[in-house]
Chains A and B, each alone.
Chain A
């Protein structure tokens, strides 16, 4: 099963979400949040497990930040409930909750030093000064900002601010750390590095991280599981591989990674479990992997194919059978490890296909305006009913 991943195999059970006996740390049950006529979070149900890194992914305005703020207690739950360790969080103010949040703006206290910012939450717990100092030093080492203790926030770089915000949010050893777009204000250059570090820190602290992001590559890189939100609803929850390989709808498929979508009509099934489809864009017909749900002949569906699951062959192959289609290369993007071909199909439909530049495939006959035949791997073509 390719949805099981090796992350943290040394210290955590693999995929607690797949284990029906596992007890969730957080249970969100039909949670709803309305702003006037707008329902920002619309009947979201979700179980989160101890020690997992969960990414809430969606376009801006999809309700992901509102859901995060409901977990922190900044937004009330208008209907439904949120349970932490089985305890309903409904009546609890933010300062009474066992969650901590890292804000998108970092929200560092400008009048306090780095050490005072990180120790702020510990001071509220009434810990002794020496204990706080030791814990702050520990946290500063964890996020690698030793030596900045006496700086004020305005004397820090963006990356340093982000680390202080992370350390401050981790200080109280929250059961759940809520991160609102933690990478949004960082340079693209240091983002990948920081994502890796964040993942390491999460493993070391063992806390459950809930990360809100609009960046699908960030979600794919960090998450144990991803929840895709659209229009206030949680439309799909799964591992990055689940989301990428088996999106539940056209919208999810479009949002995560690059994809080619073809409208098609179901015709029947083959004995070896493939669906046969009539597709106006692909005159030779198309066969694709069977989805989980029931399909009826004549049902209109979409077929989604990732660019890297298509093969671009030079020339117009005469026997263009099923899963083969002719076209002309309209644009070539050389991306280093990949080359992406934009192919205009006979009907004018655009299609994008990519090939790994592994050196062997010295691509001949794949220049601009070249006639090509694109072959679609039937096992990788996904049938989407929604």
Chain B
């Protein structure tokens, strides 16, 4: 703190400028382009939308272009049941996946944190290991496992538990399974970081004061690792909501997920403006939980010892 205060002003400005420029170039500028696209109209042209701003065509042309901007895409998005349904079903599937991930993530993170110190890096490496194989291939592999002639049905049939294959593939179950499988490390790692930080004597103190293990978890471990759980939940919920590959490969043709709808509007229908409006909508849905989390974090840091 004191060192930063003593250093010359320009170097501090520099330090602040680098991330600011980064954000401007890689987030704000693309966002502005998408926002403008969402207010445009589709056209059979190259690029496939109007108006196309030309800053050198004079003020008159620019005002005409500006007045050509329209909210029609947002009207479509909010009135067409297809998009609202896609969004709601995405929220539902991503929400369920996030809950399942929390349920799996906590025991996994706590087990990792209880490993002897020299085994922890090995355990963490196992969590990260799937990243060494392509995401696409790993999701694709689930088709082989889940399809009617796949391994799961094969084993179940061999055990004599079923006569007809169970339809796993192309169901919501398969999507949630795929999301859970794909994003598990993003849940486990922040949870591990939060749980591993806790003084083990806190859990011992709770047990000493009469808490059976589940109550120790509920009253001590969970509240104290909540920031990690929030971070993990956001890290898996946000990409799950916009996920394309998992619903595309495991969900079948009639599954509605907003990411996939967006993709097909963009590439199949070449309706860039509508796809952009969907992207903006998705962002609006994600903003509240992110802001909430930031608030919680800020409060935590201001009261932390």
Contact = CB atoms under 8 A, between A and B. Distances in A.
Q: Is B a genuine binding partner of A?
A: yes
B211 A107 contact: no
Interface stretch (B126-134, B200-208, B279-287): B200-208
A169 B201 CA distance: 13
A74 interface: yes
Contact of B209 (A74, A93, A154, A172): A172
A110 B215 CA distance: 17
B221 to A, nearest CB: 11
A251 to B, nearest CB: 30
A72 interface: yes
A124 B205 contact: no
A95 B215 CA distance: 11
A103 B305 contact: no
A109 B207 contact: no
A124 B211 contact: yes
Interface in A98-145: 99-101, 103-105, 107-111, 120-121, 124-125
A111 B210 contact: no
A139 B204 CA distance: 22
Contacts of B212: 93, 95
Contacts of A111: 223-224
A105 B199 contact: yes
A215 to B, nearest CB: 21
B18 interface: no
Interface residues of B, number: 20
A103 B207 contact: no
Nearest to A94: B207
B163 to A, nearest CB: 47
B44 interface: no
Nearest to A72: B208
A30 to B, nearest CB: 25
Interface in A142-183: 152-154, 168-169, 171-172
Contacts of A99: 208
A101 B208 contact: yes
Contacts of B224: 109-111
Contact of B305 (A109, A110, A124, A172): A110
Interface of A: 72-74, 93-95, 99-101, 103-105, 107-111, 120-121, 124-125, 152-154, 168-169, 171-172
8 contacts: A93-B212, A95-B207, A107-B202, A120-B209, A121-B208, A124-B215, A153-B305, A168-B205
Interface of B: 199, 201-202, 204-212, 215, 219-220, 223-224, 303-305
Q: Which 7 A-B pairs have the closest CB atoms?
A: A154-B305, A124-B210, A121-B209, A107-B201, A107-B205, A94-B207, A103-B201
